[in-house]
Structure 1
Amino acid sequence: MAEFRKFRLPLGVYLLSFALLAVAQVVMREQPILMAERFWAGAGWIQIAVIAFYGALLAYKMQDPLKAPRWRRLSWTLFTLVFFAQLALGLAGADQFLMSGKLHLPIPMMILGGPVYRLQLSFMSFLFLSTLVLTGPAWCSHLCYFGALDQLASDAAPRDNKATARNNKTGATCDNMTGAASNNKTSAAPAKPAKRTKRTRYFAFKFKRQVRWSIVLLVIVAALALRWLNVPVLYATLGALAFGLTGLAVMLLLSRKYGSMIHCSLYCPIGTLVRLGKKINPFRMTLSPDCTLCMKCSSVCPYDALNPEDIKNKKPGSGCTYCGDCLSVCDAQAIHYRFFGLSPKHARQLYLLLTISLHCLFLALAKI
């Protein structure tokens, strides 16, 4: 019986992914949306089976909190590679790899700027809102075609830049982040003060909230100004392209330097909207009183959601995307998924079921 339990989540992901993609296959029969179906009639069902099996494998691996961070990164990067590879092939002349004949810049900012410029909601608007309702902030840790690039950049940071605390053999508490020695709950030995790394200096930056909302306001005002001034579409597109290239520069120059996903957590206006909009979803991430303030979770959180102040307050910051990376290092098992009356284990399994199934749907269907 215990062996069977390991396959319940993978089976659920397989069935849900298969069902969702089957609906797309049947409804879009006249205008196939699945890639395989566009090349060979009936091959879409083979693609559905393969994608669903992939989702089941991913669920099997990610149900182990220790393995989840690695497989989340691999699956997210795979989605980004497939998405941009299809775009490149489409631009090279293979129209089957494009969603339609209308191209738009694959920059998350366009999810906000595009509808404001046109004064009309788009398909991407409804897609983004639906992910907020179903999986809260998973857009920023599993589903965004751009975010995986920021993850890769922050992961490439020098090791010392990622570590927000240096525990001695017995561990250090949150007070170490300010240089004061304190005791771990499980030890009375004094701890060494933490080394002040580049990442802790980013934590100390006090105006992150103002920067985030200033960028959101800038995008809205710029889009409205471009519309009201009847600026040619070419120049509006160039402005959006400049915004996207600046985002890439933020990844290469800042995310890689500080070991934190600064593009997603500070620069991207969609990331800022996710911080606000995720509250409509009932999933939550919490820290229990069992937390020993060891600060290990802070060293692996790429979203600036577990800085010392957040951990002292026993509540992840607003930037938490429920990615679950922190669970892999929490020896006290004090970080929990919550969903109404479900146990933390079952809440996490439900979250993985929905998130991985949506990831499979995006992998199979997302195109420009």
Structure 2
Amino acid sequence: MAGLIFVSLSFILLAAHALRGGDNGLCVFLLGSAALSLSRERWAGNVCGVLLGCGALIWLDNGTALISLRIFTGGDWVRLAVIMGGLFALTIFSAAYCFSPSGRERYNRNDEQGIFRASIFLLSVLLLEITRTKVSFPIFLVDRFFPGWGRAEIFLLAFYGSWIGSKMFSPEGARVFRPRIWAFFSAVFFGQLALGLSGLDTFLMTGKVHLPIPALIAAGPVYRGSGFFMPILFTVSVLLVGSAWCSYLCYIGAWDDYFSRKGNKKPAKNFNPRLVWVRLLLLILVVGIAWRMRVGGISPVVAVWAASQFGLISVVVMLVFSREMGMMVHCTTFCPMGIVSNLLGRLSPWRLKIASSCCKCMKCTKVCRYGALNHKDIEAGRPGISCTLCGDCISSCKGGSLGYKFPFLSSEISRKVFLTAVISLHALFLGIARI
């Protein structure tokens, strides 16, 4: 009990320090961490230990600076050194307690998820903090409405990411929950777009509307000759998690997933895998037209009209073909960025492998909505080019022959590391889910 009191007190003292420094958001973050320390979940203990370790460094850094200032000005520094040393000692002791045998006994629930969920929380915090610090304008909504409170949003998003980790810890849970969080992200994205279009431009990232069509990630900068934020974000995301951008992070892909599940419950068996290369032709066509419009001096009004027509055709493909075939026809045969994700994803180390123990039962083909697991693919021991690492097929393989693969890691650890990365990116994208 004493250890828990020390942990909570350490967070409260750090929160008071943040409040005194005028960082209201960090104060809320630390108070939220104090509340988290009351949990008995193992992941909460891990998170508290790491955060308090960072908090001890804050006391050390601030204490060193203040003591140096006192010595330089000839003031009394001994009492200050004792106070700052005491705060450092209390905080580092509390951090150590979280990982000690007594702390592990206190935080003893769901021990098997401890490292996994804590990693999601901490990585989400890191990505969100880097984004908030490096971007030149208030990128989080909380900072826009309440300047300086952005770290409160970071805590909530990181906690949300950790909660997703608990739901997706098992392959069966991931298969059920992935479409839900994907749809939620899309709803937030387009909900904020709708608010922006209604006149509340605070909900728009730059204050200007851009058409939310994936093909414009490539075509937009070609036409404008500027605006490379989305291509860079897309490329970095794909390099980090491979083609999972298409099954976790794309704001339009969630629509295709919904319509493919709304119609036939099982994917069509007569899908021609060669159709996935149609997207490469469309990519060349879209980028070529954008370049031609630019050099031809075509007005933005005409360019926007042409892009909107392409977007409308995309929706028709989802409504008609994806719904009818029970497959994500738009993503696998029509979206130009889909093939970019598939090809660029080959530079990422993540793979989905089929072990030699596969009994060729073909159950995995019944759940793959990307046409990446036909008989030829299974014989080859790997999914086809249209695989997006969604992982839905893993739960269907009762023999455990399907799984994620990362160099030098087991299939189980690879899956956890992959989910840690992609869920953390999901939390980040949710935080910046604006046009």
Give the TM-score normalised by structure 1: 0.86
Which sits farther off after the overlay, 349-358 or 35-44?
A: 35-44
3-state DSSP of counterpart to 2:289: helix
Q: Distance in 1 between matches of 2:318 and 2:330?
A: 6
The answer to whether structure 1 residue 341 and structure 2 residue 397 are counterparts is no
Task: Report the counterpart of residue 178 of structure 1 in structure 2.
Answer: none
Task: State the partner residue of 1:49.
Answer: 155
Counterparts of 1:100-249 in structure 2, within 5 Å, are: 100-120=206-226, 122-159=228-265, 162=266, 199-201=268-270, 203=271, 205=272, 207-249=274-316
Aligned partner of 1:269 in structure 2 is: 336
Counterpart secondary structure, 2:187: helix
SS in 2 for 1:217: helix
Equivalent residue for 1:10? 117
Q: Which letter does structure 2 place at the counterpart of 1:144? A: C
- The gaps in structure 1 that reach 5 residues or longer are 164-198
Question: 1:158 touches 1:257 (CA, 8 Å); kept in 2?
Answer: yes
Tell me whether 1:318 sits opposite 2:385 in the alignment.
yes
Equivalent of residue 396 in structure 2, options 318, 322, 329: 329
Richer in helix (by share): 2
Query: Taking CA–CA contacts closer than 8 Å with sequence separation of 6 or more, which of the two structures ends up with the larger relative contact order?
Result: 1
Q: Which amino acid aligns with 1:24?
A: T
Q: Which residue does 1:304 correspond to in 2?
A: 371
Between Structure 1 and Structure 2, whose CA radius of gyration is higher? 2
Structure 2: how far apart are the matches of 1:206 and 1:302? 12
CA distance in 1, matches of 2:109, 2:194: 46
Q: Cα–Cα, structure 1 residues 117 and 26, in superposed 2: closer, same or farther, change >3 Å?
A: closer
State whether residues 7 and 60 of structure 1, in contact with CA within 8 Å, keep that contact through their aligned partners in structure 2. Answer: no
Give the Cα–Cα distance (whole angstroms) in 1 for the partners of residues 180 and 359 of structure 2.
30
Distance 2:109 2:140 in 1: 37
Deviations 1:343-365 (A, max 9, x none): 11111111011100000000011
1:228: how far off?
A: 2.2
Which amino acid letter does the alignment assign opposite residue 55 of structure 1?
A: G
Q: Deviations over 1:55-86 (max 9, x none)?
A: 00101111200110121111111100000000
Shift of 1:2: 9.2
- Compute the displacement of 1:27 (Å): 4.1
CA distance in 2, matches of 1:144, 1:206: 22
Aligned-pair CA distance for 1:41: 3.0
TM-score by length of 2: 0.73
Shift of 1:206: 6.0
Structure 2 letter corresponding to 1:13: I
Q: Per the alignment, do residues 84 and 6 of structure 1 end up closer, same or farther by CA in structure 2, a change over 3 Å counting?
A: same
Decide which moves more: 116-125 or 62-71.
116-125
Q: Equivalent pairs: percent with the same residue? A: 41
Q: Write the letter of the residue equivalent to 1:88.
A: A
Please give the secondary structure, in 1, of the residue aligned with 2:404: strand
Residue identity in the other structure for 2:416: Q
- Whole-Å separation in 2 of the counterparts to 1:144 and 1:295: 28
Q: Which amino acid aligns with 1:220?
A: V
**Comparing 331-340 with 305-314, which one deviates more in the overlay?**
305-314
Kindly provide the CA deviation profile for residues 118-164 of structure 1, in whole angstroms up to 9, marking residues without a partner as x: 344610010011011111111101011110000001011123xx15x
Letter in 2 for 1:226: M
The one-letter amino acid paired with 2:118 is: L
What is the Cα deviation at residue 314 of structure 1?
1.8
For 1:200, give the aligned amino acid.
Answer: K
Q: Aligned residues, how many?
A: 328
Contact 2:277 2:339 in 1 (8 A): no
Amino acid at match of 1:346: I
Task: Give the superposed CA RMSD.
Answer: 1.6
State the alpha-carbon separation in 2 of the partners of residues 124 and 41 from structure 1: 25
- Of 62, 86, 93 in structure 1, the residue corresponding to residue 199 of structure 2 is 93
**SS of residue in 2 equivalent to 1:141:** helix
Separation of aligned partners in 2, 1:120 and 1:151: 32
Q: How far apart are the structure 2 equivalents of 1:137 and 1:362?
A: 16
